[in-house]
Structure 1
Amino acid sequence: MMKPLSTEKLYNHCDLALFDFKTTDELEELDEIIGQRRALKAISFGIGIKKEGYNLYAMGKLGSGKHTVVEKFIQSKAKDEKKPGDWCYVNNFEDPRKPIYLKLEASMGVQLRKDMLELIEELQTVIPSIFESEEYRIQKQAIIDKLTEAKEKSLLELKERAKKNDIYINYTPAGYTLSPMSDDGKVLGKEEYQALSTQDKEHIQEKILTFRNELENIVQDIVIESKIQQKEIRELERKMTKKAVDASIDELKGKYQDYEKVVAYLENVEEDIIDNSQDFLISAQNNLATMGMNYAKQSGIFNRYNVNVIVAHKDVEGAPIVYENNPTYTNLFGEIEHMAQMGALVTDFNLIKAGALHKANGGYLILDASKVLMQPFVWEGLKRMLKSSEIRIEPLARSLSLISTLSLEPETIELDIKIVLIGDRLLYYLLYNYDPEFRELFKINADFENETDRNDDNIQLYARMIGMIARDNGLLPLDKQAVGKVIEYSSRMAEDSQKLTTHLAGLSDLIHEADFIASQEHMDHISKVQIDQAIMEKIERSDRIKDKMYEAIQRGTILIKTEGSAIGQINGVAVLDLGNFSFGNPSKITALTRLGKGGVINIEREAKLSGPTHDKGMMILSSYLAATYAKDFPLSITATLVFEQSYGRIDGDSASCAELFALLSSLSDVALDQSIAVTGSVNQNGQVQAVGGINEKIEGIYDICSLVNGQKTHGIIIPASNVKHLMLKEEVLEAVKNDTFKIYAIESVNEGLEILTGKVSGTKDANGHFPKESINYLVEEKLKLFANKSKQKKI
């Protein structure tokens, strides 16, 4: 008879002799990442290669620290890279609807904005003063006097000639009037004029018409000369404004001479100021009228000269690293805001806002893949901009042709960026297989390990990591016993006594909860007691469903037999996963066999409650029966297998071993020990294979047996290949030590049969026969009997 496992096989204790510290405060900071060599190598390659399409997708289990690892690794590389420049948008004086961008060295964009504000503020004083100068007044008066003198001379000459022809030209508020004169130089009255002969009247009208035409010509000439005068005055104003502006603009041109686009912009600014010098006079006049209030700031009359710095890197060291937690369309690509004025929405280049792409341009942008895909149109927009290497700020509604209102069309900005998407493996494979552009744009994937080897070196590193978690989060330090317990808990999380989990979020949560308990007890450090209590309370918060199900078994509502023996009946165990908590749930499995041709019938499958993996396990049972017992005769059997009192879907093949034992018991009419449960899958050759959730399954059986028959000895059969995964709780270890709970590790079906029946299972001799009275002999004889009866019925 096979012996049960000793307690040494059931739990891998941490060797505290490896630690030479009292608390984690004594440990050095951890400057490396544990167990992620492959992922780090991929990240290093992806960041290092500066080619189009070599963006990075970091994939792994949620909570494995992907984001932290990626960000820390990028930080170590980015600090030595060139700091990108500032990005600004300025007015396009030729077409204000199409603002232009300026790119300057870091902090120079902010300086340009400051310089432009100072320039406009200075010119608001200088330009009005230049128009109040003596020089300007003299030159303007000379232009005015020139026209006045020419106008008076022309009119005077016309008046003299008209007077000689007895016509008087007079200017009134209603305009020029022409009247006939008498020989003595007086204007004829109405009666006098009427007394003249018709011939004299006609002669007078002819002269008036002639002089009127000449007067109109002179007036037209004066209008033309007035326009020339206005043009000369405007040129004078331009000349005087240029004189005021030149020095300041030339100073700025010299300051930014290395930026060709900035110099061109300053030239356009100068030209616009010269063309709109009256704005500065109006501003000065309104400042006086409003008792010194800043009219320019309130009216926004000079906003067109602002510099909109959308991205500044004044305090950034190296390349920027941006993590966008909420990657909406506007948060990622920027937006053009609007203001309400007089009941209408208006905008200009000052309302252009940067997105995460702008802020990370020249560096690294980290995004959560699932969040990007959840936001409407963001994924398509991101791919489009990566392929074009340009950032285009465009309202989403406009790009979808939902609105046709007039808006800005900012100049596109060159995009030089490395995108890092962080997500799970399934999402990566879906994108890779169903989105052809994804594989072109994200050519590097960093696959994060879920676990790492539990060796002495990694245990030492793990201790430092635990200390770092405590320090970084302002928690109490842990003593060596507490560290040892956390490491053991890590193996439990990894479901492998020889591994350590890389799921740092779970460990961090445990240390936080233990810290709270220790603080409540006014301790100065965290001990093993607080770690144990935190684990226990974590379970207690989530095990309500387990307690209800176990209570139903204890009260006999769910029938589970944990003592005695029975034919064709066995206790299997499954794992119920509730998200943050999982536990082992025993189920009674029964088998009935009879003569027939139905083979092995899975009642769960017939009721459509069986998953494909469970169905596969049933097919393997049929194959095992035929290959082991019925090579020389037909298999004439109908066997039914069922999980009793199971009302939900069942999947997985971890019960196939237990189902086979129930089936063989029914065929051999040999009872199975009901105090021993079974878990494990089986292959066609009768080898028992490893299953998942082995710790929960063992503990579930132990808990149920303790509730129902606490004083008696119970046990469970598990696959031998699962022994390395065992990290069982203290109560189970104590029960095994006291010989009240036994765990058997088997490699074959025959070994399990002997444990469950107390009889020899039997192996074939050289002639291919099983020993008489062995379990396998009895099974084979029953199958032969069925075959013979089936043959006789046909005859």
Structure 2
Amino acid sequence: MTGTNPLRPEALRLTVDPSVFPFRTTEELPPVEGRIGQERAVEAMEFGLRITSPGFNIFMAGASGTGKSTYARQLVAEVALGQPAPDDWCYVHNFEEADHPLILRLPPGRATVFARDLEQLVNDLKDSIPRAFDSEDYERQRNEIVKTVHERQQQAFAELERAAGERGFALKSTSTGFVTAPVVGGQMVSPEDYENLDDASKRLIDARRQQLQEVMADTIRRVRGVERAAREQLAQLESGVALFAAKPLLDELRGDYRDFPAVLRYLDQIQEDVVQNLSDFRQTEDKPAAVNLLGARVGGVPDLSRYRVNVIVANGGTDGAPVVFETNPTYYNLFGSMEYRGEFGMMTTDFTMVKGGSLHRANGGYLILQVVDMFTDATAWLALKRALKTGEVRIENIGQQFRLVPTATLKPEPMPLQVKVVMIGSPMHYLLLQHYDEDFRKLFKIKADFDVETDSSPGRIAQYAAFVGSVCRQGNLRHFDREAVARVIEFSCRLAEDQNKLSTRFNDISELIYEASTVATLDGAVNVGARHVDAALREKIDRSNRLEERVQEFIARGVILVDTEGEVIGQVNGVAVLDLGDHRFGKPSRITATAGLGRAGIVNIDRESRLSGRIHSKGVLTLGGYLLGKFARRQPLALSATLGFEQLYDEVEGDSASGAELCCLLSAIGQIPLRQGLAMTGSVNQRGEIQPVGGVNEKIEGFFQVCKARGFRGDQGVIIPSRNVANLMLREELVDAVRAGQFQVYAVDTIGQAMETLSGVRFGEEDPGGAFEPGTVCHQVETGFRDLAERMARFGRELAGPSDSELRSAAPSPAKPPGEPGLPPGPEDGDRPPEKPPASTR
């Protein structure tokens, strides 16, 4: 039979020889060092963590399961451990602008101490100030001031009473002040008696009353001046007493915090506020606060919370720089928030209710974020970029601008920000941010690119074995023997889809290690063996392959039409890969093609029904390019052909079936039967070269399962691109079937080799004259094109009717004059070539 020889069983999977390992079990191996196969990413990470210039934040790009998050925590923690702990930060009351709390910076651990110091200061002031005002000296000085005021008041009132008597008036003291009444004959004149006086007496009394009122006004002014002076003296006395009690306490704190100018300024403000609000400290008894109808506190113990310290970052006892891994990076979790309480029907807040966020805790250190989590809150991403650009972090209530009813809020002083942000995401995330976010390029200048595979050199294999041992030690698992380690490495090659590569998706490797250890434990084995790894892999597949089994059942029952024997024109088996997330499998599908008269070219049924993706549509268009280059150099192509996947009702994407589609199309045009016991995968270019595709293992195994269910015939198999041979890591069951001659895998480089394998007919090449050798695939296809073109031309003539020349030739000829030679007979109508060649098509 003409075609490509099948691959040998040894080429179908990499088998690791356990004897290459110099250990009996992984318990003998040292812990793995570094990240296996991620030297490029590790170098980028180490450089990015040590550069301190603004904008050199890090984006870790890599596929899921490559250990980015784990490595980020480990490496960042190691680097941070060698750095000093950053300062503490706290908010205090702003005595000048209460709605703008001040932020203070203190060495690590000092903010908490400062908060305790101020709490103790308030307690000491509440004790020392009342005691100072209870002293005999204070009472004596106060009494002297009060006595002096009283004496001067009495003297002024005596002078006023004497002036009233001289003017014939008497003074009466009432609750509202002094009342004057005229005196006549030693008796006070009542209002009724006053009306009975003559006019001269009334004028005299009124004149004297006017004089007395001026004297009274002057006296009252002097008395008020005396009282005002006394109040000032009392205030000075109280201030002096308060300073006498408070200043030593504050001076002691000033000595403790003499190296912090901001703290000293704050202590000066406290001293001034204490003096101005002595009544808050002179209350000696705690009275319960009343509550009004609106729920607000009225009276009771004075509110001294303005002297508290709100510590938002405390790095005391911290070894090295902080490392914060924020798993829920919402705006408020990153930037902090302000809590509220209800008062008088309104929501109010103060500086003690300001809460810091992850950026505050990570200041002076490192903040690790997942990009997927970050973009669940658009405001958080915008605010993070703003904070990194401005170098400060602000605590703001972003909901305030959307409220219908305004509430009291604060504008805390921003905290200077110096943080290294490490963002973790996929390569697609990085690409999108690079293209669509200008700020991203300026803020994340370091890319740590994590690969999904590495070479399978002896050194790498030794590292892999050490990794297995490390996972066993960390998880307190049973250790693996050398045969089990060999199975793990083979599984890694399967994940990488390459016999020469190892996968760096260590999450999947770790899952297998845990599951195999559990199987060994249930089996009562001391160590994990190869059979336990195999059992764990089988059970992992069994947990996820329900849909695959259902598809195989439908094929076995004939619900999904797939032929595995015989020969059919214009029909071939293709294989698609279905990815369920935790499981991938191959699903065979029938590809059919038809060819007939017309100039429509190749009609992609899936595209016309809007089920074809862009890549698949491109692959179908490539088929037309191949046909033009191969068969349209000597004659135009007149063709109407249809091509489609049978029983596929979802979108068809990818060009991995374009090789099978071209074989199917050539079969339909040249009427060449194709073997149905073979399936094919591989894309094709316009030159007829078969190109590599993905998922080759799943595709082969998918068709293998169909053939196994129906019974092997010895002539079944799968055609794959030669460039995919290195990607083969097939299951041992399939390799055993190949070894037994029940199933074959063919590798081809060109569409010609594929057609020879499918049809058993030699493909054929052009001779120097451009003709194809009879009996070959190309000759049959060219013949098919020529036949279609001729029939198309004949059909066109029949539709158009006879031409003018044909009508003239068909009319009776006039008698020939003697001696005139006759014309030779013309060709038959059916043999007459058209006057114009038919229009060419693809």
TM-score (norm 1): 0.92
CA contact (8 A) 2:593 2:642 kept: yes
Change (3 A) 1:788 1:206: closer
1:200-224 Cα offsets, whole Å, 9 max, x none, are 6765665565445424432332122
Q: Post-superposition shift, 1:632?
A: 1.8
CA contact (8 A) 2:712 2:742 kept: no
Change (3 A) 1:456 1:537: same
CA contact (8 A) 1:168 1:187 kept: no
Q: Post-superposition shift, 1:119?
A: 0.6
Separation of aligned partners in 2, 1:764 and 1:57: 56
Paired residues for 1:544-693 under 5 Å: 544-693=546-695
The code of the aligned residue for 1:730 comes to E
1:350-391 Cα offsets, whole Å, 9 max, x none, are 001111111111222122222222214222222222222221
Partner of residue 307 from structure 1, selected from 306, 309, 312: 309
Partner of residue 83 from structure 1, selected from 74, 82, 85: 85
Q: Post-superposition shift, 1:226?
A: 1.0
Q: Secondary structure at the match of 2:575?
A: strand
Separation of aligned partners in 2, 1:297 and 1:707: 89
Change (3 A) 1:93 1:523: farther
Q: Post-superposition shift, 1:483?
A: 2.5
- Is there any run of 5+ residues in structure 1 with no aligned partner, and where? none
Paired residues for 1:442-521 under 5 Å: 442-521=444-523
CA contact (8 A) 2:286 2:300 kept: no
Paired residues for 1:114-133 under 5 Å: 114-133=116-135
Q: Secondary structure at the match of 2:286?
A: helix
1:268-288 Cα offsets, whole Å, 9 max, x none, are 011101111110112x23269
Change (3 A) 1:174 1:76: closer
Change (3 A) 1:454 1:191: closer
Q: Secondary structure at the match of 2:718?
A: strand
Q: Post-superposition shift, 1:655?
A: 1.5
CA contact (8 A) 1:13 1:488 kept: yes
Separation of aligned partners in 1, 2:214 and 2:136: 41
Separation of aligned partners in 2, 1:54 and 1:763: 60
Structure 1 stretch 186-195 or stretch 128-137: which is displaced more? 186-195
The code of the aligned residue for 1:564 comes to G
1:742 equivalent in alignment to 2:723: no
Change (3 A) 1:657 1:268: same
Q: Post-superposition shift, 1:392?
A: 1.7
Q: Post-superposition shift, 1:753?
A: 2.8
The code of the aligned residue for 1:690 comes to P
1:603-655 Cα offsets, whole Å, 9 max, x none, are 22233322222222222222223323342222233333232333332222211
Separation of aligned partners in 2, 1:615 and 1:592: 18
RMSD, aligned CA? 2.9
Q: Post-superposition shift, 1:659?
A: 2.1
Separation of aligned partners in 1, 2:425 and 2:191: 108
Q: Percent identity?
A: 38
Which residue of 2 is the match for residue 435 of structure 1?
437
Separation of aligned partners in 1, 2:642 and 2:626: 16
1:414 equivalent in alignment to 2:416: yes
CA contact (8 A) 1:7 1:737 kept: yes
Q: Secondary structure at the match of 1:691?
A: coil
Structure 1 stretch 93-102 or stretch 387-396: which is displaced more? 387-396
Which residue of 1 is the match for residue 822 of structure 2?
none
Q: Secondary structure at the match of 1:717?
A: strand
The code of the aligned residue for 2:286 comes to N
Q: Post-superposition shift, 1:341?
A: 2.9
Q: Secondary structure at the match of 2:152?
A: helix
Which residue of 1 is the match for residue 346 of structure 2?
344
Which residue of 2 is the match for residue 9 of structure 1?
11
The code of the aligned residue for 1:758 comes to G
The code of the aligned residue for 1:78 comes to A
Q: Post-superposition shift, 1:496?
A: 1.5
Q: Post-superposition shift, 1:790?
A: 4.7
Q: Secondary structure at the match of 1:95?
A: coil
Q: Secondary structure at the match of 2:479?
A: coil
Which residue of 2 is the match for residue 222 of structure 1?
223
Q: Secondary structure at the match of 1:152?
A: helix
Separation of aligned partners in 2, 1:611 and 1:180: 116
Change (3 A) 1:162 1:780: closer
Paired residues for 1:242-391 under 5 Å: 242-282=243-283, 284-286=284-286, 299=301, 301-391=303-393
The code of the aligned residue for 1:303 comes to S
Q: Post-superposition shift, 1:461?
A: 1.3
1:695 equivalent in alignment to 2:697: yes
1:102-146 Cα offsets, whole Å, 9 max, x none, are 011111111110100011011111111000011111111111111
The code of the aligned residue for 1:266 comes to L
Q: Secondary structure at the match of 1:601?
A: strand
The size of the alignment, in residue pairs, is 788
Change (3 A) 1:161 1:671: closer
1:6-46 Cα offsets, whole Å, 9 max, x none, are 22211112332343334433332223011222222222333
The code of the aligned residue for 1:278 comes to S
1:752-792 Cα offsets, whole Å, 9 max, x none, are 23333334333345555544423333333333444455556
Q: Post-superposition shift, 1:61?
A: 1.3
Separation of aligned partners in 1, 2:190 and 2:723: 136
CA contact (8 A) 2:612 2:652 kept: yes
Structure 1 stretch 189-198 or stretch 512-521: which is displaced more? 189-198
Structure 1 stretch 431-440 or stretch 130-139: which is displaced more? 431-440
Change (3 A) 1:515 1:174: same
Separation of aligned partners in 2, 1:40 and 1:511: 25
Partner of residue 92 from structure 1, selected from 91, 94, 98: 94
TM-score (norm 2): 0.87
Separation of aligned partners in 2, 1:288 and 1:663: 95
CA contact (8 A) 1:630 1:783 kept: no
Separation of aligned partners in 1, 2:622 and 2:172: 126
CA contact (8 A) 1:570 1:589 kept: yes
Q: Secondary structure at the match of 1:574?
A: strand
Separation of aligned partners in 1, 2:574 and 2:669: 19
1:494-533 Cα offsets, whole Å, 9 max, x none, are 2112112222222233333334434444555433333222
Change (3 A) 1:568 1:165: closer
Q: Secondary structure at the match of 1:367?
A: strand
Change (3 A) 1:647 1:138: same
Separation of aligned partners in 2, 1:386 and 1:626: 58
Structure 1 stretch 238-247 or stretch 525-534: which is displaced more? 525-534
Change (3 A) 1:671 1:174: closer
Separation of aligned partners in 2, 1:34 and 1:656: 37
Separation of aligned partners in 2, 1:300 and 1:345: 21
The code of the aligned residue for 1:270 comes to Q
Q: Secondary structure at the match of 2:543?
A: helix
1:50-88 Cα offsets, whole Å, 9 max, x none, are 222222222221222222222222222222223211111
Q: Secondary structure at the match of 1:478?
A: coil
- Is there any run of 5+ residues in structure 2 with no aligned partner, and where? 291-296, 798-833, 835-842
Separation of aligned partners in 2, 1:632 and 1:289: 106
Q: Secondary structure at the match of 2:36?
A: coil
Change (3 A) 1:762 1:161: closer
1:541-599 Cα offsets, whole Å, 9 max, x none, are 22222212211211122222212223332222111222222211111222333344333
Change (3 A) 1:584 1:196: closer
Separation of aligned partners in 2, 1:147 and 1:479: 103
Which residue of 2 is the match for residue 706 of structure 1?
708
Change (3 A) 1:202 1:623: closer
CA contact (8 A) 1:671 1:757 kept: yes
Q: Post-superposition shift, 1:666?
A: 3.4
Separation of aligned partners in 2, 1:26 and 1:247: 68
Change (3 A) 1:167 1:484: same
The code of the aligned residue for 1:247 comes to P
Separation of aligned partners in 2, 1:432 and 1:725: 32
